[in-house]
Amino acid sequence: MTFHEAFRVAWRGLRANRLRSLLTMLGIMIGVAAVILLIALGNGTSARLNQQIASLGTNLIGVFQSRGNVAASGRNQPLTDKDVKALQTASEAPRILSVTPVKQASAVLNFQNSPWRTSIAGSTQDYLAAFHRTMARGSFFADSDVHTSARVVVLGDKPVQKLFGGVRAGALGQKIRIGRQTFQVVGVLEPNGLNDDIAVMPISAARNYLVGGDDDVDQIVVEATSQAAVPATMAKVTRVMLDRHSITNLSQKDFEVHSNLELLKQYTQVTDVFTLFLVAIAAISLLVGGIGVMNIMLVTVTERTREIGIRKAVGARRRAILKQFLIESVVLAGIGGIVGVLVGVGLSLLGATIGASVGQFAPPQLSTGSVVLAFTVSLCIGLFFGAYPANRAARLRPIDALRYE
């Protein structure tokens, strides 16, 4: 019996029980479609996240105060302007572009009796470069404003929404109250989707009017010349800081150095696990579909015991019977797989179209690999779950099979 003939016999078998075959295919179809769609969703989310983190700047290094380690003195030294100075001096080393201190606070902004509490960042004119931000309107404050503790502020998108109803041009030049002082809005930041509920002012103004006059800072952002220079720059920053804080024992290091690149890697890991998790769920539904195939094939073999007996009586070898039922289960799973691919691809494309118009939702990204994988797996399921029933059919003794009612 050639493959073509075996296929025809199998096809006739499937057509004899159309509804049953369709329902079994449905099980595989749902599994395959789910695998394709969920991989696409995972990829889309991952890509969106990577893009957002990359937009933060992958050449940036942050220095923070340590949470866990305790210095030998028992008192952790805060990060101060002196640290910033030391790093800026070291920045003669060609890998460092800028060193930016940030002092954080929280305060209520008020304009014409519409208050809004937001995060305050006191920083220098390098803030834009250090956080990969761009201006939507106006201009950022200048070096001179930092020296004079000028009461000027640059607003993020959220405060503009809340205070000025989203009219950026309307915000520009307005005087708003922050704490007990009046500040002039000199610019509006372009939103980046991550840190838009913010107001940025000169670090000196933040210290003088909002958080007190110490010279300590919460964060120092070091801008490396490129992503490739990040590891070397991190080492350099660590050396300078260890030196500044007179630390020899690394377990007593009272500061931490992180890069966005690390963050990117961490997030990539998280999204990979997330995608894997989704795919595992989809794989379970494929497995259930496979069990459905096996179930139906066992029923089919039992129902057609007599037919098997006849075929064996007229000279079908074991392999011929095995082939017939294996092809039947593979065709069953394969057609389910093809329809599943069509549905999965269709839903992913639909999702991508909708996702492009709905901002919050990361559009699914189809990958050829997932389509090929899902279809191949469906064929393998047909083979794997069909093997036992087909083998059972092949092993039937002709006298028993012929006598079966």
Residues making contact with other proteins (CB under 8 A)? 1, 5, 12, 16, 306-307, 309-320, 397-399, 402
- Alpha-carbon separation of residue 11 from 7, 168, 326 (angstroms): 6, 67, 11
Half-sphere exposure (CA, 13 Å, Cβ side) for 256? 11
Pick between residue 224 and residue 322 the one whose CB is nearest to other proteins. 322
User: Least separation, in Å, of the C-beta of 319 and other proteins?
Assistant: 8
Q: Which residue has the tokens 């011929």?
A: 320
Closest to other proteins by CB, 175 vs 306, is 306
Least Cβ distance, residue 307 to other proteins (angstroms): 6
CA gap 314, 324 in Å, rounded: 15
Closest CA to 218 of 263, 184, 261, 256: 256
Smallest separation, CB 320 to other proteins (Å): 6
- Which CB atom, from 265 or from 317, has the smaller least distance to other proteins? 317
| CB of 36 closer than 8 Å to CB of 340 | yes
Question: Inter-axis angle of helices 318-357 and 18-55, to 10 degrees?
Answer: 40
**10 vs 279 by CB, closer to other proteins:** 10
Tokens of 293: 């195939």
Minimum Å gap between C-beta 322 and other proteins is 11
Q: Closer to other proteins at the Cβ: 117 or 395?
A: 395
Alpha helices, DSSP H, located in 113-228? 127-130, 143-147, 157-164, 168-171, 203-206
Q: State the minimum distance, in angstroms, from the CB of residue 292 to other proteins.
A: 24
Q: Nearer Cβ to other proteins, position 309 or 340?
A: 309
Q: Shortest distance, CB of residue 1 to other proteins, whole angstroms? A: 5
Q: Which is nearer to other proteins, 4 or 67 (CB)?
A: 4
What is the dihedral sign for C-alpha 47, 50, 54, 59? negative
Q: From the CB of 8, what's the least distance to other proteins, in Å? A: 10
Please tell me the distance from the alpha carbon of residue 234 to that of residue 217, in angstroms, as a whole number. Answer: 19
Alpha carbon 78 to its chain centroid, in Å, reads 34
CB of 404 to other proteins, least distance (A): 11
Phi, psi of 316, deg, nearest 5: -75, 130
* Distances in whole angstroms, Cα of residue 364 to Cα of each of 11, 64, 74, 250, 355: 36, 36, 51, 45, 8
CB of 314 to other proteins, least distance (A): 4
Is the CB of 103 or the CB of 312 nearer to other proteins?
312
CB of 293 vs other proteins, minimal distance in Å: 23
Shortest Å, Cβ 397 to other proteins = 8
Q: Which residues, in sequence order, are bridge partners of residue 189? A: 135
- CB burial of 39-60 (b: ≥16 within 10 Å; e: otherwise) equals bbbbbbbbebbeeebeebbbbb
Q: For residue 145, what are the β-bridge partners?
A: none
Q: How far is CA 280 from the centre of its chain?
A: 17
Whole-Å CA distances, 253 to 238, 247, 248: 9, 7, 8
**Cβ neighbour number for residue 225 with a 10 Å cutoff:** 14
Residue 296 or 322 having the CB closest to other proteins: 322
Instruction: Give whichever of 17 and 367 is closer to other proteins, judged by the CB atom.
Output: 17
Q: In this complex, which beta carbon is closest to other proteins, that of residue 229 or of residue 402?
A: 402
In single-letter form, the type of residue at position 49 comes to L
In this structure, which amino acid lies at residue 51?
Answer: Q
Structure tokens at 197: 């509920």
